[in-house]
Chains A and B, each alone.
Chain A
Amino acid sequence: MTLCIIYLSLRKLFITLSKLIYTLKTIIMSYREKENIINIFSALLITGIYSWIIYQKQLAGSIDLTDDFQKWGIVFLIYAGVSIIARIIIYIIFSIINTIATREEKIPDEDERDKLIKLKATRNSSYTFSIGFFMSILALAIGMASYWLFILFVISGVIAELIDNGSQIYYYRKGV
Chain B
Amino acid sequence: MGKCNIQNNIRRLRFNADEMTQKQLADQVGASRQTIVAIEKGHYSPSLELAFRIAHVFNTTLEEVFSYDFGKD
Chain A interface (Cβ < 8 Å from any Cβ of B)? 30, 32, 108-109, 111-114, 171-172, 174-176
The distance from the CB of A24 to the nearest CB of chain B, in whole angstroms, is 15
Q: Which residues of B contact A174 (CB under 8 A)?
A: 1-2, 43
The distance from the CB of A108 to the nearest CB of chain B, in whole angstroms, is 5
B38 interface residue per 8 A CB criterion: yes
B52 interface residue per 8 A CB criterion: no
Asked if A172 and B34 make an inter-chain contact with CB atoms under 8 angstroms apart, the answer reads: yes
Near A by CB (< 8 A), chain B positions 29-73 give 30-32, 34-35, 38, 41-44, 46-47, 49-50
The interface residues of chain B, by DSSP majority, are classed as loop
Number of B positions contacting A (CB below 8 A): 18
The distance from the CB of A47 to the nearest CB of chain B, in whole angstroms, is 29
User: When the two chains form the complex, which single residue of B30, B31, B43, B50 contacts A175, counting CB atoms closer than 8 Å?
Assistant: B43
User: When the two chains form the complex, which single residue of B1, B2, B38 contacts A113, counting CB atoms closer than 8 Å?
Assistant: B38
Taking CB as reference atom, which chain B residue is nearest A110? Answer: B32
Q: Which residues of B contact A175 (CB under 8 A)?
A: 1-4, 38, 41-44
Q: Which residues of A contact B3 (CB under 8 A)?
A: 175
Asked if B43 and A112 make an inter-chain contact with CB atoms under 8 angstroms apart, the answer reads: no
Q: Which residues of B contact A171 (CB under 8 A)?
A: 1
The distance from the CB of B27 to the nearest CB of chain A, in whole angstroms, is 11
5 interchain pairs, CB-CB under 8 A: A112-B47, A174-B1, A174-B2, A175-B1, A176-B44
Taking CB as reference atom, which chain B residue is nearest A174? Answer: B1
Q: Which residues of B contact A32 (CB under 8 A)?
A: 34
- Which 3 pairs across A and B sit closest by C-beta, in order of nearness? A175-B43, A111-B31, A113-B35
Give A113 to B38 CA distance when docked, in angstroms.
9
Give A172 to B33 CA distance when docked, in angstroms.
12
Give A106 to B47 CA distance when docked, in angstroms.
25
Taking CB as reference atom, which chain A residue is nearest B34? Answer: A30
Q: Which of A30, A171, A175, A176 has its CB near the most chain B CB atoms (within 10 A)?
A: A175
The distance from the CB of B36 to the nearest CB of chain A, in whole angstroms, is 10
Give A174 to B44 CA distance when docked, in angstroms.
9
